[in-house]
């Protein structure tokens, strides 16, 4: 376990944006699952679809910044 924590801390120091996006993605995903299971009567379908859309955008940004903490949109960048 200490090796895993050392690797996690090293990656978080090397690229804090990607690490923060991954943590935000996990928190949003757990929140969406919580809403889907326990609060399905209180949120509208449009509100839930918006939340899923936001989770998708965060996931795409997390994947895009995973390699080197910079968005690489095209080969020319």
For 26-65, how does the pLDDT look when each residue is reduced to its tens digit (9 = 90+)? 898 998 888 888 887 888 889 888 889 999 998 888 888 7
Determine how many CB atoms are found less than 10 A away from the CB of residue 66.
14
18 lies in a domain?
A: yes
The answer to whether residue 30 is domain-embedded is: yes
pTM above 0.75, yes or no: no
Mean pLDDT along residues 1-6: 78
Domain assignment present for 73: no
pLDDT for 1: 61
Residue 16: inside a domain, yes or no?
yes
Asked whether residue 70 is domain-assigned, the answer is no
Residue owning tokens 């998708």: 56
Q: Is residue 43 part of a domain?
A: yes
Residue 68 pLDDT > 60, yes or no? yes
Range of the domain at 42: 2-64
- Domain count for the chain, please give it: 1
């Amino acid at each position: 376990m200490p090796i895993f924590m050392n690797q996690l801390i090293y990656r978080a120091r090397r690229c804090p944006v990607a690490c923060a996006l991954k943590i935000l993605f996990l928190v949003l995903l757990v929140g969406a699952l919580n809403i889907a299971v326990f609060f399905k009567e209180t949120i509208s379908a449009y509100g839930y679809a918006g939340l899923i859309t936001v989770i998708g955008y965060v996931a795409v940004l997390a994947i895009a910044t995973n390699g080197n903490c910079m968005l690489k949109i095209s080969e020319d960048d």
